[in-house]
Amino acid sequence: MDRIHYPYGAIIIINFRNPGKPVILAPMNRHDFRKMFKTVGPVVLPVIHVLDNAQAERNVRIVVEEGAAGCFLINHDFEMERFLPIIAHVRARFPALWLGVNFLAVTGKLAFPALGRLKRDGILVDGYWADDARIDERRSHGDQPEAQEIAAAMASSGWAGFYTGGTCFKKQRDVLPQHYEYAARLATAYMDAVCTSGVATGHAADSDKIRTFRRGIGEHAMTLASGITPENAHAYMADVDGFMVATGINRDGDFYNIEPAKLSRLLKLTRDYGARS
């Protein structure tokens, strides 16, 4: 059994003598997650729904100017192949930026090889967020074939960044609330930070769901990827370590462009919370 230490606190354990045996990713402690971004409060990671190079670059500049720790890009309107050159463009313009991506409607099985190819081309992506980490609460901890397949894809890709995976996530297979805690606990074996959401884009997550997830994952890191606004963020700060936010900081009625004042307000709220906690 060999152990590979990856950046950001994750550990992938691979049995090279028997590749069919489980591949396990050790989760990140929530305090280590915050240290990674050099913040004591919840980390704000704006999500940019990209359209083209110019729109992506313009919004990333707002992220940088307002002092956010990094951002995620997502291809909400087109396929992965059209998205990859935009990722390369943003990385070239902002070589020191913490940059994450979400390949919409694609699991890590395809995403990790793509991230590996980007790395080999000299395009470093720091983080990957999947809408669906393929955690199956109907199965036991040792019987998670799709999550295991994704973990193996990550291990063989050559990419070693931060991974947060959707669990009981919007627009995926419905999970009954009584299974949230178990699903969250299962997820900790397969990613750095467990990610969940409200019922749809722009819809705030139920507070009971978030508290249940926190019980399930203990002191491991958790991210939240829908419905966060400057008005409701306070309700989640005790339990959530990372806010991946788009509509809550965008211009009114605009799915694609950040409103600097909203982002600034949310950043101040999280910093103030961190200073008090």
Do residues 194 and 165 touch, judged by C-beta distance below 8 A?
yes
Say how far apart CA 224 and CA 210 lie, in whole Å. 9
pLDDT tens-place string over residues 208-243: 999 999 999 999 999 999 889 999 999 999 999 999
pLDDT at 19: 45
Reading across the β-sheet that carries 11-14, which strands appear in turn? 2-5, 11-14, 24-26
pTM for the full predicted model: 0.90
Say how far apart CA 179 and CA 184 lie, in whole Å. 9
- Going along the chain from its start, the domains and CATH numbers come out as 2-276 (3.20.20.70)
Say whether pLDDT at 183 is over 80. Answer: yes
pLDDT tens-place string over residues 57-96: 999 999 999 999 999 999 999 999 999 999 999 999 999 9
Count other Cβ atoms within 10 Å, centred on residue 22.
17
